[in-house]
Amino acid sequence: MEHIDIINKKLDAILSSLGVSPAKGSKYLTAKQVEAEFGIKAQTLRNRSNLESSHKRFIPSVRLNGGRQKYFERKVLQRMINTREERV
């Protein structure tokens, strides 16, 4: 557990030096925030969220309050990334 805390502190330091402020408390992230935090291109996210839900590359998204902007749930993205890392 101590090792994870050290890694989190280092990541926070890197993000702050890049001028990126992680939205730690938010459940949903915009495509730009996901790009900054996870390194997945925003356009890729938006394109894959338009695929059919049965497609293997589909990334689920929501639109809050009927707006145009798509939001992605942090837990879903983390689960997808962890699953991919386990396969590699």
The token pair that represents 28 in the structure block: 């949903």
pLDDT in tens, the chain (88 residues): 677 778 777 776 776 666 555 455 678 888 998 998 888 999 999 999 999 999 999 999 988 777 788 899 988 998 888 877 677 6
Q: How far apart are the first and last CA of the chain?
A: 24
pTM, 2 dp? 0.63
Please provide residue 49's backbone torsions phi and psi, each rounded to the nearest 5 degrees: -75, -15
